[in-house]
């Protein structure tokens, strides 16, 4: 190869991070506090502790500690599938005839197929340490439920997953992976919770939504002795755990003297992007270095690019704390696109604040353009990417093509969050030419904004 940079840069076990990095410690404008939906006041430890595990509540509320040690049990689990490779996309560069250097961090090398395992194992660990019997959660596309069921199996915890009904029916294989790892999987809305029964009475035959499944999972946690609720994205604690992605990337890059000019990630609830960028963002916040950081979201669910920065409900049943975030409104119904992991109406409070303060950019891309990039990537880099991840691929390719025009040798770095083996229905539609693009009108978005709570 023309260059001394290897195709894959791996860290050794001894170089793995010992602590997660909490980017909030370096933010001057901290993310706005979560509010108790009953009182409208900032949530306290006690408000959250009957829903979430104690240690995770502490992490959620900690805006000041920069480094939080990764417990040895979690580090040992990480060693089964980490470090994840940092790959130089030599073949893609060649195909694009670009002078840009392209790197990606690949998080799909575990059975759950995505980065979500990084936080699932941490959350399961703290539940176990607290002596709980089990945890409840929701899953949309199924990746989070899969990751959590793997983590719970490892620590011998019970795992109750509420799976959005359309996915439950359309993705039977995801469901069976979860059951193989010992989780119980209930289609949502279900008649096992009050909120689910209400939903079924009001909208018989509904395919469900992520917001409703969250409400059911929270209710199941608070009504079962020895259970807590866990969530796979959006929350500060999840971004904290995902910082392992960015820390490994930074360490590997430093080893070879690589400095990215542009850092790109897909954004659903913001956890992989938040984790990927965290150490780089830390340098930016402290004035030590500068990077262009780009969040990529679907044009059909454009929270950053067309949403409002406001307090909103995190779930349909309005039982969760209110969060200040870029949001389309908890009543926004995104069209059924294939990147199920990017369909949430809101965005991480940390990323929302950083975006509002001008530390990062955002852009939206349409579904067919995303699959075109996915296919191009699969054909030269070998990996079959998840539709969610392919949003980042689209933007990375677009930036590399700009470099071809200008002749600039930029270094482009993106997060490849997972594999797409369970998304072959989507690939089938793309291959058959029947995939469509849906972009909500301003009037569609107004309906979602109308449901925002009046606060402040």
**Which residues of this chain interact with ligand PLP, rule CB under 6 A?**
114, 116, 143, 233, 266-273, 341-342, 386, 388-389, 417-418
Q: Do 181 and 156 contact (CB within 8 A), yes or no? A: no
Q: Which is nearer to ligand PLP, 101 or 345 (CB)?
A: 345
Beta carbon of residue 265, minimum distance to ligand PLP (angstroms, whole number): 7
Task: State how far the Cα of 21 lies from the Cα of 75, in Å rounded to an integer.
Answer: 15
Beta carbon of residue 354, minimum distance to ligand PLP (angstroms, whole number): 14
Q: Which is nearer to ligand PLP, 143 or 330 (CB)?
A: 143
Query: What's the angle, vertex CA 176, arms to CA 428 and CA 150, rounded to 5?
Result: 110
Beta carbon of residue 10, minimum distance to ligand PLP (angstroms, whole number): 21
Q: Which is nearer to ligand PLP, 90 or 355 (CB)?
A: 355
Q: Do 362 and 296 contact (CB within 8 A), yes or no? A: yes
Task: State how far the Cα of 143 lies from the Cα of 120, in Å rounded to an integer.
Answer: 11
Task: State how far the Cα of 123 lies from the Cα of 128, in Å rounded to an integer.
Answer: 9
Q: Which is nearer to ligand PLP, 330 or 389 (CB)?
A: 389
Cis preceding-peptide flag for 287 (omega within 30 of 0): no
Beta carbon of residue 143, minimum distance to ligand PLP (angstroms, whole number): 3
Structure tokens at 321: 């704390």
Q: Which is nearer to ligand PLP, 260 or 270 (CB)?
A: 270
Task: State how far the Cα of 426 lies from the Cα of 424, in Å rounded to an integer.
Answer: 5
Query: What's the angle, vertex CA 273, arms to CA 270 and CA 278, rounded to 5?
Result: 115
Beta carbon of residue 5, minimum distance to ligand PLP (angstroms, whole number): 26
Q: Which is nearer to ligand PLP, 190 or 303 (CB)?
A: 303
Q: Which is nearer to ligand PLP, 24 or 116 (CB)?
A: 116
Beta carbon of residue 210, minimum distance to ligand PLP (angstroms, whole number): 11
Beta carbon of residue 404, minimum distance to ligand PLP (angstroms, whole number): 27
Task: State how far the Cα of 273 lies from the Cα of 394, in Å rounded to an integer.
Answer: 15
Write the CB contacts of 402 (distance below 8 Å, at least 6 apart in sequence).
Answer: 408
**Length of the chain, please?**
456
Q: Which is nearer to ligand PLP, 130 or 170 (CB)?
A: 170
Q: How far apart, in Å, are the Cα atoms of 123 and each of 85, 131, 136, 213, 368?
A: 24, 13, 11, 19, 35
Q: Which is nearer to ligand PLP, 114 or 352 (CB)?
A: 114
Beta carbon of residue 348, minimum distance to ligand PLP (angstroms, whole number): 7
Q: Which is nearer to ligand PLP, 166 or 200 (CB)?
A: 166
Beta carbon of residue 388, minimum distance to ligand PLP (angstroms, whole number): 3
Query: What's the angle, vertex CA 106, arms to CA 101 and CA 109, rounded to 5?
Result: 155
Helix ranges (H only) for 82-142 are 90-96, 117-129
Beta carbon of residue 185, minimum distance to ligand PLP (angstroms, whole number): 17
Q: Where does residue 137 rank: exposed (0-12), middle (13-18), buried (19+ CB within 10 A)?
A: buried
Task: State how far the Cα of 140 lies from the Cα of 171, in Å rounded to an integer.
Answer: 10
Rg (alpha carbons) of the chain, rounded to whole number: 21
Q: Do 41 and 311 contact (CB within 8 A), yes or no? A: no
């Amino acid at each position: 190869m023309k260059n001394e940079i290897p195709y894959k840069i791996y860290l050794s076990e001894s170089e793995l991070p010992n602590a997660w990095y909490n980017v909030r410690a370096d933010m001057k404008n901290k993310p706005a506090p979560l509010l108790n939906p009953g009182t409208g006041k900032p949530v306290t430890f006690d408000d959250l502790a009957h829903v979430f595990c104690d240690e995770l509540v502490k992490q959620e509320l900690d805006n000041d500690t920069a480094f939080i040690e990764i417990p040895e049990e979690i580090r040992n689990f990480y060693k089964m599938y980490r470090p994840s490779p940092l790959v130089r996309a030599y073949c893609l560069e060649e195909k694009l005839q670009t002078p840009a250097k392209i790197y990606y961090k690949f998080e799909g090398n575990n059975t759950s197929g995505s980065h979500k395992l990084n936080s699932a194992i941490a959350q399961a660990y703290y539940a176990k340490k607290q002596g709980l019997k089990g945890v409840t959660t929701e899953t949309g596309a199924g990746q989070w439920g899969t990751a959590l069921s793997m983590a719970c199996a490892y620590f011998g915890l019970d795992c109750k997953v509420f799976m959005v009904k359309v996915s439950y029916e359309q993705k039977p294989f995801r469901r069976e992976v979860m059951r193989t790892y010992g989780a119980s999987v209930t289609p949502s809305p279900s008649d096992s919770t009050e909120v689910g029964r209400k939903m079924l009475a009001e909208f018989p035959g509904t395919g469900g939504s992520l917001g409703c499944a969250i409400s059911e999972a929270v209710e199941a946690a608070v009504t079962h002795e020895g259970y807590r609720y866990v969530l796979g994205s959006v929350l500060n604690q999840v971004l904290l755990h995902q910082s392992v992605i960015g820390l490994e990337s930074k360490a590997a890059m430093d080893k070879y003297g690589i400095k990215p000019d542009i850092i790109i990630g897909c954004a659903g609830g913001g956890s992989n992007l938040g984790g990927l960028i965290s150490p780089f963002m830390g340098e930016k916040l402290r004035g030590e270095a500068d990077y262009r950081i780009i969040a990529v979201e679907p044009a059909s669910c454009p929270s950053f690019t067309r949403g409002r920065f406001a307090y909103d409900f995190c779930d349909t049943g309005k039982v969760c704390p209110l969060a200040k975030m870029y949001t389309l409104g908890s009543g926004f119904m995104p069209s059924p696109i294939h990147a199920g992991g990017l369909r949430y109406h809101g965005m991480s409070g940390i990323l929302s604040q950083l975006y509002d303060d001008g530390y990062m950019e955002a852009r939206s891309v349409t579904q067919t353009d995303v699959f075109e990039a996915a296919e191009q990537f699969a054909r030269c880099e070998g990996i079959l990417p998840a539709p969610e991840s392919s949003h980042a691929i689209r933007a990375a390719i677009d930036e590399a093509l700009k470099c071809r025009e200008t002749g600039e040798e930029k270094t482009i770095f993106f997060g490849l969050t997972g594999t797409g083996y369970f998304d072959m229905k989507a690939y089938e539609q793309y291959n058959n030419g029947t995939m469509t693009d849906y972009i909500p009108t301003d009037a569609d978005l107004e309906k979602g904004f109308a449901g925002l709570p009046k606060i402040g």
